[in-house]
A and B are shown apart, each in its own frame.
Chain A
């Protein structure tokens, strides 16, 4: 029994460790991939092939002086990055990342790879990520600077608009699987059609996956939807006035949110830890590979697609994405009713 507790604590610790380091790895990956896309080498000086560059970045940020504008709201200015990063970490709490396993017979009873298994897990992820917007909005407001305020304003409007399409896309998946627990949604995708096509919701919900992807990129404020930052128009948007550790927490939160989004997408549409010819005990490797691919796609999109204009963003969200998501939900419901009535 105590061994089981230790293992569970170990899983939580591992997830936390991976999330913390994910941002360092992703910063390096982002710069290397960007460089490759732009036919450059990217960071090359620190360590072999610039592999230790994130370490140098972190050291540099820690050494910097912490500045705060004189007229800033003292409490909220400090609270904002904390909210952002806390929401990012907490959101991962109900995301499972592997099947039940006994660790090759080490344990008597199988333990679930994941931190918490809640019967409304998907909604918990959604709720906690929607709290993350407060970090950005408050940072924008508390800085008492016009660029920051504009970044925060844009962020709040963008989040509300794209959350709708995002939630509607999720509703179609919930409809198909009949469960709000991420683990049960993954288990509903086990098995094959005609013996070789994996039963992933990607193939039942291609439109839903695209909508989820677009809304997910917008929710995490990544290019081409990085309006809260938009360095060409707003200097650096909501984090203009931030420096040192407080500044470092924002990109940290952004990268963790990317990981959470990719992990949820993997669970919802890509069959989680199920993969053809991979035994389910090694499913976590398949899971990591899928998440890695989605993260690569995130970076790929960022350095390929130029930023929208702000009015285009709103037009697109309300006039195209949301209707498409609603139609997708209606068709899914109709077909589901036809086959199951």
Chain B
């Protein structure tokens, strides 16, 4: 069963890398581990017959957004988080953070419970629908530019706003200082 094996490999890689992302004290290593996690997710997308999304994931997330993060980490030469040399420092922090950890654990339990108690999820993921339709790029384009036309245009405005916002926020003003 190569596909099952691939699924568990990619899933383990994605979860492991993501867990390490939040466990790292060095932001540079966090960014790199997140890239690995995105790569594994792209593998899962290929298994789900979505090759175009998988490649877009690599190009947009790993190739552009993460380079931006890397750029900022390098630019700020960001200091490492207040370094306790203790590997369990995260869990041992003071009151409020510990509540946060408990809440996160509760969320995981609740999500798993919800997933396990709903019926109809146990069937194989590719039971319905034709793989050729789902993985077809022309079909994707057709639906995107007809049914989701308004959302598409709205997104372009969002990008424009984000661009202007980023320039205004991060740009140095010459009349100050």
A positions within 8 Å CB-CB of B: 73, 76, 118-120, 123-124, 126-128, 130-131, 133-134, 137-138, 140-141, 149, 152-153, 156-157, 159-160, 163, 167, 180
Contacts and interface: CB of A to CB of B under 8 A. Distances in A.
A123 B52 contact: yes
B67 A124 contact: no
Question: Interface residues of B toward A: which range?
Answer: 20 to 34
Given A124-B55, A126-B59, 8 more contacts: A120-B55, A123-B55, A130-B64, A134-B35, A134-B67, A134-B70, A157-B71, A160-B67
Contact of A163 (B58, B64, B68, B135): B64
B11 interface: no
Contacts, number: 67
Contacts of B68: 160
Nearest to B51: A120
Nearest to B63: A130
Contact of B59 (A76, A127, A138, A149): A127
B164 to A, nearest CB: 15
A173 B115 CA distance: 45
A280 B64 CA distance: 39
A167 B56 CA distance: 12
- Is chain A's binding surface mostly helix, strand, loop or mixed? helix
Interface in B62-83: 62-64, 67-68, 70-71, 74-75, 77
Nearest to B75: A153
A164 B137 CA distance: 21
A200 B167 CA distance: 41
B46 to A, nearest CB: 10
B117 to A, nearest CB: 38
Contacts of A140: 74
Nearest to B29: A76
Given A131-B62, A137-B67, A76 B51 contact: no
Contact of A156 (B56, B59, B74): B74
A118 to B, nearest CB: 7
